[in-house]
Amino acid sequence: MRRRNGIESGVEADRHEPPRIRQRIPRDRESFLAEIVRLGFRGIEDLLFDLPLRYEDETRVIPIGALVPGQAALVQGTVELTDIRYTPRRQLLCRIADGSGHLHLRFFHFYNSQYTGLKRGLIVRAYGILRDGGLGREFIHPRYRVFKGSLPPLKPCLTAVYAKRAGLGSRPQEQLIAAALDLMAHNRLELTDLLPPALTRPWASCSLFEALRGVHQPPAGLHAEALGKWLAPFQRRLAFEELLAHALSVQKIRMDWEGAQSQPLTIHAKPLEHFLETLPWRLTRAQQRAWHEIASDLVRTKPMLRLLQGDVGSGKTLVAILTAWATLTNQGQLAVMAPTELLVEQHHATFQRFLAPLCQPVLKLASRSSRSQRRSILEPLAAGTPCVVLGTQNLFQREVAFGRLLTVIIDEQHRFGVEQRLDLVNKGSGLRPHQLIMTATPIPRTLAMSLYAGLDQSRLDELPPGRQGITTTIFPAERRTEIMHRLRALCEAGQRIFWVCPKIEENEGSGGRAAETAFDELRKALPGFPVGLLHGRIGGAERQQLIDGFREGRFQVLVTTTIVEVGVDIPEATVMVIDGAERLGLLQLHQLRGRIGRGSHSGQCLLIYENLTPDARSRLEVLRQSSDGFWIAERDLEIRGPGEIWGARQSGGLTFRIAELYRDRDLLALLPEAARRLADENPQAVDSLVERWLGGDLRFGSA
């Protein structure tokens, strides 16, 4: 247990203590810089740009009687009773009151010094989150201080809370930052402001120092919840600087890519026309447009770097096959990397079917391949034999070498780590391979124009002819019996049904329906109709047998997890039931719904929910209203923000610490002019700004 700023935290000490902050922080420049390096920071920028996760308001005392459950607040009261109880585990309880009410401070980890220190009649200031417990209102493990005499003044600013870094806790980091800001205020420490005031004056008239002081020490009177939305001028000043750094990095990345060399491909009109005649469908106008853009890239000595977006069922795979045809007819190798083995299996069958007239091998590098099978694939790859090879992340393993890698296709690119994509692109033999990035997860235009500004972009915004609509209906779990009756009628009509659950078995930690439970219920509810069960713990060969059995009608109902989200193309499937739909993201729900309605029959999507939060209700309502993936993506961006959509605030390889593209979309329009002015007026600041915000991540943009 540590004492921080005179507050007993009630948390047991780490067994392996990190470097401790010195009792007195040095106040001269050189000693202070040496101290922060000793504590694991690379320098003053690394310290000051490590921004708070959230804020706590210890600038005002809230009466105990005015608190509501879930509220985080600072209270002040007199100790009425302190006791150690065993109900059922050993715990310390301290009751305090302030005239408006009372609450308990509860500790499960404590020392006897806490018990003896919380004496009746002393005054306590405690910060915590109110909850209703067995003895009434309480704080569990609050931060607190005990006072015997006069009370010190409250904090003049909100308390910033930081992520634990190399063992350094939030409070010591707060002390370091306060010392750094004090040194800067007295001109004993400098941090270069890289933006001329003219770039920020119209909407945030504060310097870099003022912005950092505002972020780390927000003045009293501001609400912590409002600061969490990052709309204060000093916060937007930093968000703009980060967005500008990103825009400048994209420019540098694009210049680097355009300076590289690739093998230009030759595309002859007559052979292409003959190949198109072998396809079972005519290209849609959107596919023709996308292929023309890709072909124009492939014939140049500059490597292609193109993002192909297409909604569910829009025909991206056919465009990829045309790219493979161009590569093979130039005696080259093409690598297709997909996120799951199920999708690799799907692509392998499709590429084989369409590329058979070329008599060139379509190889599949499976994770469970035997040594002899791997040798039969790796040897022709290393020799430069023209072929298509498909795989998951195993394609970038060190033993996989390409003799003539001309083109790389990465499917569902956001599911791969940036390092993985870089490793595959770097396997080109001397020249940089052309790169086509595909995604069936619609990217909102706000994101696409900003995050992927360094990529040429193509969109498939048209579905192949003959596709029928999908009706989406929302049901509460209480109507499950009614749904079973409805499914029985659909089975009797010969329709094929997906039933998707968020987890495999009941004992998994997350909530929601389990696939194994639904499987047992459906077998009882639908006697005489074969039901299959598919999930990620089933081996690849058996998994493919289940998919093939569903496609061929040996199973009429397939109970599965979200493993079928991408890569499953079964035109005969017409019904999708998503059990526990409120637990899935909007774009994930849209992808799952896209597994049906791929044939000549209309589809039905049934969304079953248990407990709806406001956000979950909004997601399901959006899905009910539309099947347009790009419109859905825009709504999802409004509801959740890009950090939630992409995960860990990471998109396209560049990590955003502050900026959010939907929230800060008004700042995006200012970036082109700001980037031009900074490059013209202060070109030496460009590299410094990119290094400040992106550091070593700059190279990720080329992946």
pLDDT of 187-217, one tens digit each?
999 888 898 888 877 666 788 999 999 999 9
Supply the angle between the helices 540-552 and 341-355 in degrees, to the nearest 10: 60
What six digits make up the tokens of 308? 């192909």
Going by their DSSP bridges, the two strands 573-579 and 603-609 should be labelled as parallel
Query: Strand, helix or coil at 639?
Result: helix
Buried b (16+ CB within 10 A) or exposed e, 190-223: ebeebbeeebbeeebebbbeebbbbbbbbeeebe
Give residue 236's pLDDT. 87
Query: Strand, helix or coil at 577?
Result: strand
Give residue 421's pLDDT. 54
Query: Quick one: which of 575, 565, 582, 560 has its CA closest to 474?
Result: 582
**All domains of the chain in start order, with CATH:** 61-147 (2.40.50.140), 269-460 (3.40.50.300), 470-626 (3.40.50.300)
What six digits make up the tokens of 413? 């690119």
In this structure, are residues 411 and 338 in contact, taking their beta carbons and an 8 Å threshold?
yes
Query: Quick one: which of 605, 598, 591 has its CA closest to 571?
Result: 598
Our measurement of the distance from residue 451's CA atom to the centroid of its chain's CA atoms, rounded to an integer in Å, reads 14
Q: What are phi and psi for residue 571, nearest 5 degrees?
A: -60, -25
Q: What are phi and psi for residue 378, nearest 5 degrees?
A: -70, -35
CA atoms within 13 A on the CB side of 227: 24
What six digits make up the tokens of 60? 């005002």
Task: Please list, in sequence order, all residues whose beta carbon lies within 8 angstroms of the beta carbon of residue 332, skipping any fewer than 6 positions away.
Answer: 263, 265, 386, 404, 405, 406, 407
In this structure, are residues 105 and 142 in contact, taking their beta carbons and an 8 Å threshold?
yes
| Interatomic CA distance for residues 668 and 533, integer angstroms | 47
- Burial (CB < 10 A; 0-12, 13-18, 19+), residue 513, is buried
In this structure, are residues 343 and 566 in contact, taking their beta carbons and an 8 Å threshold?
yes
CA atoms within 13 A on the CB side of 340: 18
| Interatomic CA distance for residues 472 and 389, integer angstroms | 38
What six digits make up the tokens of 294? 């890709």
How many other C-beta atoms can be found within 10 angstroms of the C-beta atom of residue 264?
17
How many other C-beta atoms can be found within 10 angstroms of the C-beta atom of residue 532?
18
For residue 39, give the DSSP letter.
Answer: T
Query: Quick one: which of 330, 401, 318, 320 has its CA closest to 360?
Result: 330
Q: Is the peptide bond before 465 cis (omega within 30 degrees of 0)?
A: no
Query: Quick one: which of 339, 486, 510, 508 has its CA closest to 499?
Result: 486
| Interatomic CA distance for residues 260 and 303, integer angstroms | 7
In angstroms, how far is the first alpha carbon of the chain from the final one? Answer: 46
Task: Please list, in sequence order, all residues whose beta carbon lies within 8 angstroms of the beta carbon of residue 254, skipping any fewer than 6 positions away.
Answer: 454
Q: What are phi and psi for residue 648, nearest 5 degrees?
A: 55, 30
What six digits make up the tokens of 8? 């007993």
Helices (H), 299-436: 316-328, 341-355, 371-383, 418-425
| Interatomic CA distance for residues 483 and 473, integer angstroms | 11
Share of the chain above pLDDT 70, in %: 86
Report CA-CA distances (Å) from 448 to 231, 263, 314, 350: 23, 28, 18, 28
- Burial (CB < 10 A; 0-12, 13-18, 19+), residue 233, is middle
Report CA-CA distances (Å) from 321 to 366, 390, 430: 20, 12, 25
| Interatomic CA distance for residues 571 and 263, integer angstroms | 38
How many other C-beta atoms can be found within 10 angstroms of the C-beta atom of residue 660?
18
For residue 168, give the DSSP letter.
Answer: B
| Interatomic CA distance for residues 178 and 170, integer angstroms | 12
Give residue 199's pLDDT. 81
Buried b (16+ CB within 10 A) or exposed e, 120-148: eeebbbbbbebeeeeeebbbbbbbbbbee
| Interatomic CA distance for residues 199 and 392, integer angstroms | 45
| Interatomic CA distance for residues 172 and 185, integer angstroms | 20
What six digits make up the tokens of 222? 């501001």
Q: What are phi and psi for residue 317, nearest 5 degrees?
A: -60, -35
Q: What are phi and psi for residue 329, nearest 5 degrees?
A: -70, -10
Going by their DSSP bridges, the two strands 333-337 and 456-460 should be labelled as unpaired
In this structure, are residues 419 and 619 in contact, taking their beta carbons and an 8 Å threshold?
no
Instruction: Please identify every stretch of the chain with a pLDDT value under 70, giving residue numbers as ranges.
Output: 1-23, 166, 202-204, 224-226, 228-230, 413-425, 428-429, 442, 444-454, 466-467, 508-511, 567, 640-655, 696-703
What six digits make up the tokens of 182? 């004090």
Going by their DSSP bridges, the two strands 557-560 and 531-534 should be labelled as parallel
For residue 554, give the DSSP letter.
Answer: S
Q: What is the chain's length?
A: 703
Query: E-strand spans in 492-617?
Result: 496-500, 531-534, 557-560, 573-579, 603-609
